[in-house]
Amino acid sequence: MPPALEEREVVLVTGISGSGKSVALHALEDAGYFCVDNLPPELLRDFIRVERGHGVRRMAIAVDVRSANSLPVLLPTLSALKAEGVRVRSVFLNSHTTALVKRFSETRRPHPLSKPLEGGDDPHRALVDAIELERNLLADLREQSTVLDTSELRPAQLRLWVRDLVGATSSRLTLVFQSFAFKHGVPLDADLVFDVRVLPNPFYLRELRPLTGQDAPVAAYLREQPEVLEMMSQIEAFVRRWLPAFEQDQRSYLTVAIGCTGGQHRSVFFVETLAQRFADQVATLKRHRELDARS
């Protein structure tokens, strides 16, 4: 193992333009990482060597479609770094196209792959085409990364989630349980999705409506429902059965998304319960997309 590359920790921040890479990079900088934006992949190994000489142990590097011509060398470079003992984690930020179009429209910034418009061109269509082209260019990198869906996240949520991700132990797979509301869409970063909308809904009980699945009265009500306990046991058994296979697949994270109608009661209760049950077996994180958006 080359001594110049030992014990380095590198977080690669990548993903679709407009999905929050600048916010993520700032969050990592606040967490003590030395951050660089838009580093050409060809310079990645030399950069790590140089910064080690400066005493830098943790680095975060943003690489995206702005370096489109260099993207083919990125994955082989990452593989080489890992083989040389560098601890590399790639975080891919993603959003659905509707959210991206809205963000570009609000900021009035051009997409990196946008072409000059000619007379009669539809700006909306041109932007959507540029986004889809970017998805295709980054498809292989996405497959090798931990995907984080930022479609419904506020910047404060994204900062928190990024810091949670990089703060989790990387010696084994990290299991992420996430609650969400189906009415706001299924998270794009979900590996497994379970629908608990068929279960009794505390929302229809006046005294439970303003509460959440984190509150004891809601939890007590749901524990009294036989079908809730049955589905909880089945989801737990499924995840336990296949968790070793996901670990053998060299995954860093497995995101289990559990959805109900509003993302307030049932899905939150399931996430809280399952995260507690798996905490002794594997590194575990929990997220509540809709509840976190309120805080």
How far is it, in rounded angstroms, from Cα 257 to Cα 176?
A: 8
The first and second tokens of residue 262, run together, are 């509003």
As a whole number, mean pLDDT of residues 199-222 equals 97
The set of residues, in sequence order, having a beta carbon less than 8 Å from that of 263 and lying 6+ positions away, is 179, 180, 181, 184, 288, 289, 290, 291
H or E element that contains 34: strand 34-37
- pLDDT tens digits for range 30-87: 888 999 998 888 998 888 888 877 888 889 999 988 887 888 889 999 988 888 888 8
Q: Where are the alpha helices (DSSP H) in 84-181?
A: 97-107, 123-137, 139-143, 155-167
pLDDT at 2: 44
Query: Model's pTM, two decimal places?
Result: 0.72
Q: Is the pLDDT of residue 267 over 90?
A: yes
Nearest to 21 by CA among 86, 95, 74, 109: 95
Task: Indicate the average pLDDT of the chain.
Answer: 89
The two structure tokens encoding residue 247? 């670990």
CA dist., res. 95 & res. 100, Å (int): 6
Amino acid identity, position 295? S
**In which region does residue 58 sit, left (phi positive, over 0), alpha (psi from -120 to 50) or beta (all else)?**
beta
Q: For position 199, what pLDDT does the model report?
A: 98
Q: What is the pLDDT of residue 3?
A: 41
pLDDT tens-digit readout, 101-148: 999 888 888 888 887 656 556 677 788 999 999 999 999 999 889 899
* CA dist., res. 24 & res. 91, Å (int): 9
The whole-angstrom separation of Cα 233 and Cα 84 is: 42
The structure tokens listed for 207 are 């005294």
- Between residues 121 and 15, the one the model is more confident about: 15
pLDDT of residue 120: 55
- What lies within 8 Å, CB to CB, of 183 at 6+ separation is 261, 262
* Residue 125 confidence (pLDDT): 79
